[in-house]
Every structure is written in C-alpha cells, then in structure tokens.
Structure 1
Amino acid sequence: MLDLLIIGGGPSGINVAISAKRAGLNYLVVEKGVIANSLYHFPVNMTFFSTSLKLEIQDTPFISHQDKPTRSEALEYYRRLVQSFRLNLKLYEEVLRMEPATEGYRVTTDKGEYATRNVVVATGFYDTPRLMDIPGEDLPKVRHYYDDPHVYIGQKVLVVGAANSACDAALECWRKGAEVTMAIRGDAIYDRVKYWIKPDIENRINEGSIKAYFNTTTEEIRPHEVVLGTPDGPLVLENDFVLAMTGYQPNYELFERLGLPIQEDDSCKPVFDPNTLETSLPGVYMAGVACAGRETSKLFIENTRDHGQIIVDGILQNATSTVGH
C-alpha cells in the first residue's frame, strides 16, 4: 500500500515526490514517457521566459550559462533532481484508470496495478495539443509540435498561431531557408510573446520576409495546398508543411478516466480546493500547471513551486486526523 501515487514525472511531479520523500511517505511517480516528458518535446533551441532562479524547486540550485535557461539545461536540472534525491519513479508506464478501494484507490496502468491512499495528478498540459478540427489535420505534413528548423529547409511552411511557439517556429524556419507564411486569427501578434521575440517577428512581417494573414483562419489542409479563410474570402496557397501552433490543454481524456470533475465554464479547470489542492475526490490532489485547465497562460513552474509542500502537508494532516479519530 502506497501513501501516495504521483501521476506525471515533470517538474510538478518531481516537486511533489521530493516533498513526499522528505516527509517519509511511501510514494511512487508514474510517468508515461521520459523524465520531464513535456519539456523534452519543447523546441530543441528553446529558451525559457523565466530565469533559472525562478524555476528552482526544493532549494536545489538551477545552474544555467545565461540568466534564462535553455531546454537542454532544464532537462539536465530535472534529471539531476531525480538522481540526487533517488526518487522512486517508473518511466514509460501509462495510467489507464483509477477506482475507489476499501482504503484509498486502485490505480491501473498498462504495466500493473497499485494500491494507494492518495493520488496526485501532475500531468501538465503540453502533451495534448488543441486541435483545429478541420479537414486534413490528420495528414502527415501537419505538426502540432515544433522541434528543429532543419526539416523545413526549402519548404513552403504555414505556421498557424501568433503566440510564442508560433513566432519562434516562424523565425527559425525562415532563417534556415523556409518560405514561411503565418495564419493569425487576430489582428496582431499577441502581446504576451517574449519581449525579445515580438519586435523581431513584427519586423520580419513588416518587411515582407514572412507573409502574415491577419484575422484569418485555416479552413482546410490538402496534400499540397492549404485553404485560408481571410477577410477577403478563401485563399488557396501551395504548401509542404503546416505547423499548427494552436496551443495545448490538459489531458481531459485522462481526467475523465480518473473520474475527476471539471468546472462547467470556459476555463474547464478541474474542481479542487485552491487552499489544499484536494479535488472533490477525497485524497486526490491536483498539482502544477494542470490546475489552470485551458487557461494555460495563468500557471507556470515558477508560481506552482509550493504545490508539493501544500499537498504533502495536507496528506500528513489528514493522516493525523484519521489516527486521532
């Protein structure tokens, strides 16, 4: 019988695990991919918006060559945390369902079953892209993750979106020799784009190096074309690749399999107590950026660093109350 099973081996899951270990709890982290799986799928050359100091967890220094760390440095940091604290973690194991048991819950994965008194859901949101739900989105040339511009040299690339991922992808692909077009729903690049990226992308658009269609939607993707809905009507463009940088959301399919209730509003946040992070399921907690639902710009690693201690304190308090009763 585990005291705590943590679903997700990213920054939040690691954070909770360290707090659990320090408290002497019998815990296990189950991760469907690699350590920090979401960060692993970030663009290869990505630089974080936050400083390394703000990303530090559990009083463990985050060393980076510059003020803002790179993806590579972040992966090294989280690997070091797992190794330094000798965390109990199982990789490449996906959680399938969770059912109430006599004492706590029975969690079933694709490799086995676990009995646990408490569960933490720390699955982030970057693993689940927001789909456009348009014809042709399932074609092989459509990518919802951007990794490296080398793939797109000499190709006609449509970048859908106007946030950080879209602007980074558009600039890097253009600089490596791609013919880049952007389809943007609004009438401008988003204000929340990194301050060192925003003027760069705006200047490239203004000089015509990158073609941008504003107030425009992507209507259909064909093997060698895309159809855009512009203010002047439909527009058909030759196309080799589509980078659909349309954002990401929590894994609601998993939430449903776990039986987690969701707020019935635009945020689609999981239902939980903001003070304790405990959901309406007793002993089941939310941690990290998944707490924000679809409002993915509200929570980050830096403002959820206290979640691990809050959850473990709650588990210990509940255990004490039960013993006392």
Structure 2
Amino acid sequence: MKHTDLIIIGGGPIGIACGLAAKKKGIDYLIIEKGPIVNSLFNYPINMQFFSSSEKLEIDDIPFISKEAKPKRNEALEYYRRIVTSNNLNITLFEKVNTVKKENGLFKIETEKQHYTASFVIVATGFYDIPNTMNVPGEDLPKVSHYYKDPHFYAKQKLAVVGASNSAVDAALECYRKGADVTMIVRGHEIGKRVKYWVRPDIMNRIKEESIKAHYNATVKEIFEDKISITTPNGDIDIENDYVLALTGYKPNFEFLKKIGITLSDDEKLYPEYNEETMESNVENLYLAGVICGGMDTHVWYIENSRIHATAILNSITEKQFAQTKSQTT
C-alpha cells in the first residue's frame, strides 16, 4: 500500500491545476484519472468549440494559444496534455477510484489497480459521466445515446435530438449539415437562453425555414425500433426514427460523494457541503474542486471560474501541514 500526502481524484483541467499547485508547494501528490488526460474533454464532440475564450481556460498562467478566440476541443486536448507532460505531473491514467474511506485520520483509497493511503484528498471528478435519463420505455435501445461524437455517423438517417442546450443545438446543426433528417424535441417553449450567442440565431433560422424540425413544450413518451412517440400540447405524435440523441444534460456522481461521507443538501439541487474559502468539505481534510461544487446546477462552476479552487485548497493544506509540524516540535 503506497502512501501519498495528497491524492487528487480526477485528471481534468481543475485536477491538473491542483496538481500544479501541489507541485509548487512541494507537496507529495498523485492525480488519479479513470481515463486519458482530461477524460471528459476527450469525450466531447469532435468539432466542439468552447463558449469561453482561450485565456479564460488557462491554468497556472500558462498561455493557451488557439487559432480562433474561442478554442476547439482538439486545441484544448493539446493544451492540457502539454501541461501534464512538460511539467512532468505525477498522474496515473485509466485507473478508476472505487472507494475512499477515512480511518484513524488517514484516507484509504482503493482503485481498480491498487490501494493508497493519503493525508489529504481532493475530489475533482466533474459531472460528465452520468447522463440525466428520460426514464421512458425504450431508452435502453441501442439506437439511443446520451453522448454525441461525430455527425458523419448520422448522415441520411432520421435523427431525433432531445434537448435545447449547447450540446443538443451543436449536434442538431452538425448532423443536419451532414445530411441527417433532424427533429428536435424541446421540453421548453424555446431554444435554451445559454446556447452560444453565435450559434443560437443559426439554429433558430434553420428551424424557421423548417430545415430542422422542432417540437416545443414536448417530451418523449416512448422509443421504438422504428419510431419515437412524443407528447406535445396538441397530443401524442409518432415520428419515424432511426436514432435518438438524448442530450439532456449530466450530473456529478452523487452516490460516490455520499459514500465518502460528503453531506448533500436535502433538496433537488443536491449541493455538497464545503467551506467556500478553503473548499474543505464536511469531511476533515477532504476537499472539493470544480463543477461538482454546484450539485445539480452544473452551469455554476466551470473551468474559468473554478481555477481558483486549486490555490485555495493548497493554501489550506500547507497551513494545516505547517500547524501540524509546529505542534510536533513544541
């Protein structure tokens, strides 16, 4: 069993930022990532373009140069990968953390590969792993996906896109332009207000000219092999269908947080408990960083405003270490 002063769970941008801050402080640390470097970004759509400009995605004041003001997925992957490799960050990849338990003041971390102990733990696991399901019959059919990757796959197919956020709008536009017959199923009365400002007019114009069909105030009732049944203000409608992209959002792994002792609010938001100044959770020496701090409100924290978590957390850890060392020498 290997002991490390600090274990960082999650190798996304914020986990990497925590690793950089730990290295600067001279703290023995290890980042554990269940997939490749910045696993969530790797699983984003191939042509995805960020809402934020490149400088707002920078960590540790390391310049992020992109071809356009707003970088694309491949540029972000290159940027974060180069940070990890050029700084020789201590990271283990394709190693999923199964359990975290605290015993006698130490954390015991069990992964798919081995066991660790640590004095401090940072959880920076993001929210992209668990989709918000529709809970309708047929959702488990192979034709249904909660993740979108490449529009080429849907060329010449009848595609239903469920949702009206950035991911749903991007998928609808890209697939339409690759020759898919696209129908959007939107729970609200319009396309989401948070959709990228340079994309929102595009999707609204495509809907207006009926290049892309849209049903507003609609929900999916049932999915079949050859059609999808939806409920609309005008009654139920059956639509011929080959594939369904249910891009209805994602959520943090709340079960994992509860298992490691994190207290969640008792409302539908499921906000985790933490100190806003230090990011320390209700479990002593266990910190939260990044988007998981927002519970179900996954739009509250993102890369550009949660970069500060790394500094706050590592300042708290070094203060605790200094206080502990001082008490041992007096």
Q: What CA distance in whole angstroms lies between the structure 2 residues aligned with 1:152 and 1:100?
A: 48
Partner of residue 225, structure 2: 223
- List, as ranges, runs of 4+ consecutive aligned residues in structure 1 with deviation greater than 3 Å: none
Find the residue that maps to 2:99 and give its secondary structure. strand
Q: Once the 2 structures are TM-superposed, how far is the Cα of residue 290 of structure 1 from its aligned partner? A: 1.2
Partner of residue 113, structure 1: 115
Partner residue of 1:205 out of 201, 204, 207: 207
Q: Deviations over 1:199-255 (max 9, x none)?
A: 000001111111100000011111111110111111111110000010011111321
- Is the Cα contact below 8 Å between 1:159 and 1:166 reproduced in 2? yes
Paired amino acid for 1:300: Y
Q: TM-score, length-normalised on structure 1?
A: 0.98
Q: What CA distance in whole angstroms lies between the structure 2 residues aligned with 1:73 and 1:254?
A: 31
Find the residue that maps to 2:304 and give its secondary structure. coil
Q: What CA distance in whole angstroms lies between the structure 1 residues aligned with 2:256 and 2:137?
A: 25
Paired amino acid for 2:172: A
Q: What CA distance in whole angstroms lies between the structure 1 residues aligned with 2:200 and 2:138?
A: 30
Q: Once the 2 structures are TM-superposed, how far is the Cα of residue 303 of structure 1 from its aligned partner? A: 0.3
Partner of residue 142, structure 2: 140
The CA RMSD over aligned residues, in Å, is 0.9
Q: What CA distance in whole angstroms lies between the structure 1 residues aligned with 2:102 and 2:295?
A: 24
Paired amino acid for 2:32: V
Find the residue that maps to 1:182 and give its secondary structure. strand
Find the residue that maps to 1:118 and give its secondary structure. strand
Paired amino acid for 1:107: I
Find the residue that maps to 2:130 and give its secondary structure. coil
Is 1:164 the counterpart of 2:166? The answer is: yes
Partner residue of 1:85 out of 87, 91, 115: 87
Paired amino acid for 1:47: Q
Q: Once the 2 structures are TM-superposed, how far is the Cα of residue 257 of structure 1 from its aligned partner? A: 2.9
Paired amino acid for 2:38: A
Is 1:295 the counterpart of 2:297? The answer is: yes
Q: Once the 2 structures are TM-superposed, how far is the Cα of residue 101 of structure 1 from its aligned partner? A: 2.2
Find the residue that maps to 2:176 and give its secondary structure. helix
Which has the larger displacement, 46-55 or 265-274? Answer: 265-274
Paired amino acid for 2:272: P
Q: Once the 2 structures are TM-superposed, how far is the Cα of residue 104 of structure 1 from its aligned partner? A: 1.8
- Is the Cα contact below 8 Å between 1:3 and 1:27 reproduced in 2? yes
Q: What CA distance in whole angstroms lies between the structure 2 residues aligned with 1:53 and 1:162?
A: 27
Q: What CA distance in whole angstroms lies between the structure 2 residues aligned with 1:264 and 1:82?
A: 38
What are the equivalent positions in structure 2 for 1:234-313 lying under 5 Å apart?
Answer: 234-313=236-315
Percent identity of paired positions between Structure 1 and Structure 2: 50
Find the residue that maps to 1:34 and give its secondary structure. coil
Which ranges of structure 2 fall in alignment gaps of 5 or more residues?
Answer: none
Q: TM-score, length-normalised on structure 2?
A: 0.97
Q: Once the 2 structures are TM-superposed, how far is the Cα of residue 323 of structure 1 from its aligned partner? A: 2.6
Q: What CA distance in whole angstroms lies between the structure 2 residues aligned with 1:64 and 1:152?
A: 29
Partner residue of 1:54 out of 51, 56, 75: 56
Q: Once the 2 structures are TM-superposed, how far is the Cα of residue 44 of structure 1 from its aligned partner? A: 0.2
Find the residue that maps to 1:181 and give its secondary structure. strand
Paired amino acid for 2:70: K
Q: Deviations over 1:286-310 (max 9, x none)?
A: 0011111110111110001111111
- Is the Cα contact below 8 Å between 1:156 and 1:240 reproduced in 2? yes
Find the residue that maps to 2:262 and give its secondary structure. coil
Q: What CA distance in whole angstroms lies between the structure 1 residues aligned with 2:300 and 2:259?
A: 25
Partner of residue 35, structure 2: 33
Find the residue that maps to 2:60 and give its secondary structure. coil
Q: Deviations over 1:245-274 (max 9, x none)?
A: 100111113213322221112221211111
Q: Once the 2 structures are TM-superposed, how far is the Cα of residue 100 of structure 1 from its aligned partner? A: 1.2
Q: What CA distance in whole angstroms lies between the structure 1 residues aligned with 2:90 and 2:326?
A: 30
Partner of residue 319, structure 2: 317
